[in-house]
Structure 1
Amino acid sequence: MSAPTETPAAPVAAPAAAPAPASVQSSTPAKSGPIDDNDVNHWKDRFNDVLSRPGEHVNSKSPAGALSWATHLFDCFNPIDLCLITCCVPCVTFGKTHHRVNKNGNMDGYEPVNTSCLLFCGSSCCALHWIPASMQRAAIREKYNLEGNCIEDIAKSLCCACCNLIQLEKETEHREALLRNGSSEQYKSDNGMVYPGAN
């Protein structure tokens, strides 16, 4: 009886090496949340500037020939939705104005809860809301060349907080619309009623 013959085993291929994990990249950057490093640096630089030159900031005022404000401090009930939002959650209006002035006048990429909103909310918990508000008012005066001074900014931000935020939001919306239209025309109020045939 012949011995059984063994068939040679087929060579076993070595297992393929697992591909190295590739870094996940998407076409749009991942949202890191409401904290924006650029905004953090912006506010940090502003605070450092004020702390390094307090006397200059307190005594600062707009140059001669500065423009009048297009909106009034106590014209804060119109539009009513802005009034209600500001009275209930003033930090949202503060953050919205910051975005409009410093990032995008068209409000592209705006999120209601953002770094400036959280800064205002945190400072309000310590009754220091008037500090970022007066700094924002000064920045708006400087950008659009509007009348005013530092003491006035502080007084309005401290004593009329909601009216101040509403005025700043309406003013920046008005000024950015003028800039988009390429107009540098100053806001002109009506000269009162004109009766027919009074010419």
Structure 2
Amino acid sequence: MSAPTDTPIAPVAAPAQAPAQAPVQSSAPAKGGPIDDNDVNHWKERFNDVLSRPGDHINSRSPGGAIGWATHLFDCFNPIDLCLITCCVPCVTFGKVHHRVNKNGNMEGYEPVNTSCLLFCGSGCCGLHWILASMQRASIREKYNLEGNCIEDIAKSFCCGCCNLIQLEKETEHREALLRNGNSEQYKSNTGGMVYPGAN
């Protein structure tokens, strides 16, 4: 057995640490998810307006100079891809129409899963999707000065839900294309917007 030596042991040098790396910055803007506060506020305002004066909405009709619809309710098999998407996931078509009418006619920034889509899907679970669809149809009539009334909106949304959504999608696409081409004279409605009975 060897005797211990008095030679000091050299300290072991700590391994060199790599410099801390800065977090990688993404050039793409962060997305806020499918829930959009503007859409939530839009639907809140629409519901509050309808609930505050239901009689006015039920008895409303289009102004005298309203124009006819360019698309037909039962022309729902053309194009077939829109028909299939709407029959399988009607909430996607509903959200698409809402985006085109209320946000961007060119569909810039559109996401298939959005606030309106989720709201329509949730209301469908309770069997109340026709309420949203009829409200959307009324908004479209008002924006593009189209013929119709609230009772028609409710009947078409309740009895022919898919055909109604397909018509709204095709109609808004057609009307926005006309607006982009500068053909907006036909959409000028009366100064009072929707006409209510007894308002004269």
Establish whether residue 33 from structure 1 lines up as the match of residue 33 from structure 2. yes
What is the alpha-carbon distance in structure 1 between the residues aligned to residue 47 and residue 114 of structure 2? 18
Q: Which residue of 2 aligns with 1:46?
A: 46
Deviation at 1:33, TM superposition (A): 0.8
Q: Which residue of 2 aligns with 1:67?
A: 67
What is the alpha-carbon distance in structure 1 between the residues aligned to residue 143 and residue 83 of structure 2? 24
Q: Which residue of 2 aligns with 1:157?
A: 157
Deviation at 1:152, TM superposition (A): 0.4
Deviation at 1:63, TM superposition (A): 0.5
Q: Which residue of 1 aligns with 2:173?
A: 173
Give the SS at the match of 1:56: helix
Q: Which residue of 2 aligns with 1:148?
A: 148
Residues 117 and 151 of structure 1: CA distance in aligned 2, closer, same or farther (over 3 Å): same
TM-score by length of structure 1 reads 0.79
Letter of the structure 2 residue corresponding to residue 57 of structure 1:
H
TM-score by length of structure 2 reads 0.79
Q: Which residue of 1 aligns with 2:13?
A: none
What is the alpha-carbon distance in structure 1 between the residues aligned to residue 115 and residue 146 of structure 2? 26
Unmatched 5+ stretches in structure 2: 1-23, 187-200
Letter of the structure 1 residue corresponding to residue 166 of structure 2:
I
Identity %: 89
Establish whether residue 91 from structure 1 lines up as the match of residue 91 from structure 2. yes
Q: Is the 8 A contact 1:178 1:185 kept in 2?
A: no
Deviation at 1:184, TM superposition (A): 3.5
Deviation at 1:26, TM superposition (A): 6.8
The higher relative CO (CA closer than 8 Å, separation ≥ 6) is in: 2
What is the alpha-carbon distance in structure 2 between the residues aligned to residue 118 and residue 38 of structure 1? 14
What is the alpha-carbon distance in structure 2 between the residues aligned to residue 75 and residue 177 of structure 1? 19
Output one character per residue of 1:37-76: Cα deviation in whole Å (capped at 9) or x when no partner: 0000000100000000101000001011100000000000
What root-mean-square deviation, in Å, do the aligned CA atoms of Structure 1 and Structure 2 show? 1.8
Output one character per residue of 1:128-164: Cα deviation in whole Å (capped at 9) or x when no partner: 0001100000000000000000000000000000000
What is the alpha-carbon distance in structure 1 between the residues aligned to residue 154 and residue 25 of structure 2? 46
